[in-house]
Amino acid sequence: MTYVNAASMSAVGVLFPVLAVLALAVRVYGWRYHSPIFEVDDVLVIPACALTVAAGVALVIRTQTHLIGANSQAESTAAESLKLGKFEYALWIGHVLAIGLIKLTILFMFRRLFKGRAYRTAFDYANWILVTLVALWTVAFLFLDIFACGATPSASWESWNSLRNACIDTFGMQTGCAVFSWVLDLAIFVEPLVMIRTLNMNKKRKIQTSLVFLCSGFAVVAGLLRMILWIQATIQDITRSIITVLGTTFPISDQQGIISVVLFWTYIEIGIGFLVACVPRSAWVLDKVSLGPVLSKLRLLPSSVSLLTKKYRRSPRGGKDDMGQTQGSWATTLQPEPSWGHRSNDDVGLVAVNGRV
């Protein structure tokens, strides 16, 4: 194995579930204290998080039991191959559901931010088209993953020969799934970029929006790598003795190594996609984490220390009384202004579209 091994598989299997739970918690906190209106994306993100966490836990468990994250050994038993086939079958079904829910969460989040208020806009139509395409993609490939071997799904994990003879071309099916998924990722990435010119927001909001676009770019790259992997696996003749995917060469008999690479990049796409789906709803919480008061205190600290030192030196008794007075002055200087009951205009919403909030 190269970069995909037991350590890297366990790392992504632990990292993304932890980040997913934290992102969902911040998202819920921001929703509760800023805009407690339950939108469609707030509903879809819950099963998406559950699937993301479940897939990561499954990766870690199967890596620690040496089912994935290593190379197939000559002494591998038929029982181990059977377990690997069942695990792969379940993961393909789960990955379609997870990616589909994540895409729909992002699209409905865009709809909440950019949709027209009084009339239908070009964005409304484009967004509904993408929602429909993602829903069709999810249903179609979920059906194909479940019934790739017809009425006998066990043929997909019983043996390599049964998979080739009793099922449809699963390599071609997964390649088509990855290609269509990446095309949809690209469309979802471009959609808000077209709408950015209509936004009316300050510099802080532009930074937050740029963060969303940057994360979306990472998801597009992850989807692209997974697509390239499947294309390489499909166009190579499986009757040869070796196969090369993403610069890594495996013996064709090394099913464990090949599947580990595919699952690695598939889960990275799921994990990054879920984090992208949570960033906009979490922006309000990030907006409240301001460094302004801290920076103001740091700027005032040298002058306050200098004033304290001078008064201490002028005091004949070591500045006991002046010290107390100076400390009171210091406390007054560094005391942040009270903001109870005050709410800035930035708290109204993440963006204003065409001058309307």
14-51: pLDDT as tens digits: 999 999 999 998 888 877 766 667 788 889 999 999 99
The chain-wide mean pLDDT, for the chain, equals: 76
Domain architecture of the chain: domains with CATH: 6-288 (1.20.1070), 292-337 (no CATH)
Token pair listed for 9: 């598989």
Residues 167-198 have pLDDT tens digits of 888 888 999 999 999 999 999 888 887 776 66
pLDDT of residue 336: 42
At 134, list the tokens. Answer: 């993602």
Cβ-count burial of 272 within 10 angstroms (0-12 exposed, 13-18 middle, 19+ buried)? buried
Q: What is the pLDDT of residue 355?
A: 38
What is the model's pLDDT at position 153? Answer: 81
- Residues facing 245 on adjacent strands: 248
- Block residue for tokens 């464990």: 256
User: Quick check: 293 pLDDT over 70?
Assistant: no
Say how many Å lie between the first and final Cα of the chain, rounded: 53
The tens digit of pLDDT for each residue in 217-256 reads 888 888 898 899 888 888 876 667 788 888 778 877 777 8
Residue 222 tokens read as: 């992850």
If pLDDT is split at 50, 70 and 90, which confidence band does 143 have?
very high
What is the residue-wise DSSP string for 121-145? Answer: -HHHHHHHHHHHHHHHHHHHHHHHH
Rounded to 10 degrees, the C-alpha dihedral 335/336/337/338 comes to -100
Listed in sequence order, the DSSP H helices in the chain are 6-34, 40-64, 78-114, 122-146, 155-158, 160-166, 170-195, 203-235, 255-288, 292-314, 320-334
Residue 45: CB partners within 8 Å, gap ≥ 6?
24, 27, 101, 105, 274, 277, 278
SS3 292: helix
pTM: 0.75
Query: What is the rounded distance in angstroms from the CA atom of residue 57 to the CA atom of residue 352?
Result: 40
How far is Cα 333 from Cα 129, in angstroms, rounded to an integer? 57
Amino acid at 13: G
